[in-house]
Amino acid sequence: MSTPQIVVGVSGGVDSSVAALTLVQQGLPVAGLFMQNWADDGSGHCRAEEDRRDAVAVCGRLGIPFHFRDFSNEYWQGVFEHFLAEYAAGRTPNPDVLCNREVKFKHFLEAARELGAERIATGHYARIDQQRGRWRLLRGADRGKDQSYFLHQLGQAQLAATLFPIGELQKSDLRRIAREAGLATHAKKDSTGICFIGERDFREFLGQYLPARSGEIHDPEGNVIATHPGVFYFTLGQREGLNIGGVRGRPAAPWYVVGKDVANNILYVDQSHDSPWLQSTRLRSETMHWIAGTAPAAEFQCTAQTRYRQPDEPCTVKVGDDGSLQVRFERPQRAVTPGQSLVLYDGQQCLGGAVIATTDAPLEQRLGASTSS
């Protein structure tokens, strides 16, 4: 078996299939590697075995070697334990970001080099270029599928060793290319969420690791509205799953989560999608990761996303001595959530990102003041 120049992460989906096809068509020595990141718990919800079979079929069709690695222990220690700790603290983590940093662009990259490869490739919708000696992470050409938000923790070493072969493609073209090439994954449904949750009930799954503790649901004025099964099951702006029926003296309108008091196990709700209790114009982040290695300036203007697929939001950024950021948005933002990722952009270029620590949302400020007094 010849030594591959590039190892493609084949997930059994259409995106990674076309990434591998593109490199094969370029005449490059390519191999595929399937990563198992979650040990099958017997629930039937994880599609890992089905995905592995599809990945084998794609590699067979393309005539490239297939490799398999089990990274479930690394995933548990590097991603899932943090995921649980964040939920237990009442925050809403983003495991996809950590999975990219800790597994796909760390352990997968190491495995590829053990096979003798120079670089890795994945089916992410993003692009890489080099300017003035620095590698840059750029948005994917298909803005609706762009995944640079989840890749913001990558650095110069990872980008130098990575290819994103489908970054210039539109999703609609990609499925056509896969179909014309006879790839079995051309019509396969895109995976949603993360494998270990699959299609199962999220609350039931989380309850296996974080025992539920019911408590009261209040409105922002402190009136008891209903009860909840556990504050960590909910995130800011959420409407589904509250199970609040008709409340005497209140209109028959949906309720939204506007705050969480973890210490006292209280969930706060309001009846407006754009409730003022959900609005913030400032946030503080944890330590920022800069893709270039350093900040562009001590203070600068750019755009930001505080959640995936959010439109670009203009903001002013101040870099603290400790590496954290103070960010001020030009207009109020809805449901900016501690634990989620703030990702900064300069046009098409992703500058990097950080975990959101706090915001100036009114209820968060009030709850923070009450717990610190």
Catalytic member of 195, 302, 315, 350: 195
Q: Which tokens sit at 371?
A: 């717990």
What's the CATH class of domain 212-270? mainly beta
- Predicted local confidence at residue 373, as pLDDT: 37
Under CATH, domain 278-372 is a member of which superfamily? Translation factors (2.40.30.10)
Find out if CATH 3.40.50.620 is the number for domain 6-180: yes
Task: Identify whether 195 is a catalytic site residue.
Answer: yes
Q: What is the spatial distance between Cα 172 and Cα 216, in angstroms, rounded to a whole number? A: 47
Distances (CA, A) of 149 to 22, 162, 184, 269, 332: 24, 16, 29, 29, 21
Nearest CA among 333, 166, 334, 373 for reference residue 237: 334
> Given CA atoms 145, 93, 76, 38 in this order, what sign does their dihedral have?
negative
Are the C-beta atoms of residues 46 and 159 closer than 8 Å to each other?
no
- Predicted local confidence at residue 128, as pLDDT: 98
Residue 238, classed as helix, strand or coil, is coil
- By DSSP bridging, strand 30-36 and strand 66-70 are parallel
Catalytic member of 46, 59, 99, 315: 99
Residue 6, classed as helix, strand or coil, is strand
- By DSSP bridging, strand 279-285 and strand 349-359 are antiparallel
Q: What is the spatial distance between Cα 83 and Cα 112, in angstroms, rounded to a whole number? A: 27
Q: What is the spatial distance between Cα 371 and Cα 219, in angstroms, rounded to a whole number? A: 18
- Rounded to 10 degrees, the C-alpha dihedral 243/248/251/254 comes to -10
pLDDT tens, N- to C-terminus, the chain (373 residues): 567 899 999 999 999 999 999 999 999 999 999 999 887 665 555 677 888 999 999 999 999 999 999 999 999 999 999 999 999 888 989 889 999 999 999 999 999 999 999 999 999 999 999 999 999 999 999 999 999 999 999 999 999 999 999 999 998 899 999 999 999 898 888 776 665 566 667 788 888 898 888 999 999 999 999 999 999 889 999 998 898 978 888 888 899 999 999 889 999 999 999 999 999 999 999 999 999 999 999 999 999 999 998 999 999 999 999 999 999 999 999 999 999 999 999 999 999 999 999 999 998 888 875 544 3
- Predicted local confidence at residue 2, as pLDDT: 67
- By DSSP bridging, strand 215-218 and strand 162-163 are unpaired
Q: What is the spatial distance between Cα 307 and Cα 61, in angstroms, rounded to a whole number? A: 37
* Phi, psi (degrees; rounded to nearest 5) at 241: 85, 5
What global pTM score does this model have? 0.93
Task: Break the chain into its structural domains and give their ranges.
Answer: 6-180, 212-270, 278-372
Tokens 């203007």, residue? 301
Residue 354, classed as helix, strand or coil, is strand
Task: Identify whether 99 is a catalytic site residue.
Answer: yes
Q: What is the spatial distance between Cα 38 and Cα 78, in angstroms, rounded to a whole number? A: 12
